[in-house]
Structure 1
Amino acid sequence: MPISADRLDEEATAVLELQEGTQPYRVLRFLAENDDSAFTQTEIHEALDIKRGSVGAVLSRLEDRGLVRHRGRYWAVAEDDRLASYAAQSGSSSASTTDDYYDED
């Protein structure tokens, strides 16, 4: 059953999965946790052990959503309050899992 071309365009942007463990999630989390730096695709590939060709496709889809930005070869998390909040939550949730609640003085 065919669909309209408009629907095809709408669904293309909806396909990006930001669920934990997916490549877009991993790339966005990496960039958000390192929001004071910008990285090449090769550096992201090496840091996350994601196929180099996949990194470029993921970055393009994240850029289409306004979640990352780039200049030349370098990519960074977008300057967006929602992403700053995401980075803070990621950092605090990982810190809370390493807290030692049983050895309090």
Structure 2
Amino acid sequence: MCESQTDTERIAAFLHENDHRAWKMGTIAERLGLDTDTVSVILSRLKERGLVRHKSPYWAITDDNDQLRAAYRLHRHHAAADEQYGEERLEELRTDEMEEIQ
């Protein structure tokens, strides 16, 4: 596993590499050395994007391979742009005229 992976990437990769079964959130957190609250938030976000399935208390990677491929392509596109142009840091771009995000 690559050290530079984000927690989201680590969780998605773990579920994808272990797609033969579903996992409890606590087990995912333990296996990856992450805080349970962090894993909970990330899994919820991945579920909203259709990348994981949830049947309480178990989580698994989606079986929609097209959805996974599309998400991976988008992720790689953003990673390539970050490498080429540098990561965008909204706080550095903030001005007094900017509206607050709600």
Q: Which runs of 5+ in 1 are unaligned?
A: 1-19, 87-105
User: CA separation in 1, counterparts of 2:47 and 2:65?
Assistant: 16
Give, in angstroms, the shift of residue 25 of structure 1. Answer: 0.5
Compute the TM-score of the two structures, normalised by the length of structure 2: 0.60
1:37 aligns with 2:21: yes
Question: In structure 2, what is the equivalent of residue 15 of structure 1?
Answer: none
> Which consecutive unaligned segments of at least 5 residues does structure 2 have?
73-102
Q: Equivalents in 2 of 1:22, 1:67: separation in Å?
A: 16
Q: Which residue of 2 aligns with 1:21?
A: 5
1:35 and 1:61 map into 2 onto residues whose CA distance is: 19
RMSD: 1.9
Structure 2 partner of 1:58: 42
**1:72 Cα shift?**
1.1
Please report how far the alpha carbon of residue 73 of structure 1 lies from its aligned counterpart in structure 2 after TM superposition: 0.4
In 1, Cα distance between equivalents of 2:40 and 2:31: 14
What SS does structure 2 have at the residue aligned with 1:70? strand
Matched positions, count: 67
Greater RCO structure (CA 8 Å; 6+ sep): 1
Greater CA radius of gyration, 1 or 2?
Answer: 1
Q: TM-score, normalised by structure 1?
A: 0.59
> What is the correspondence of 1:68-83 to structure 2 with a 5 Å cutoff?
68-82=52-66, 83=68
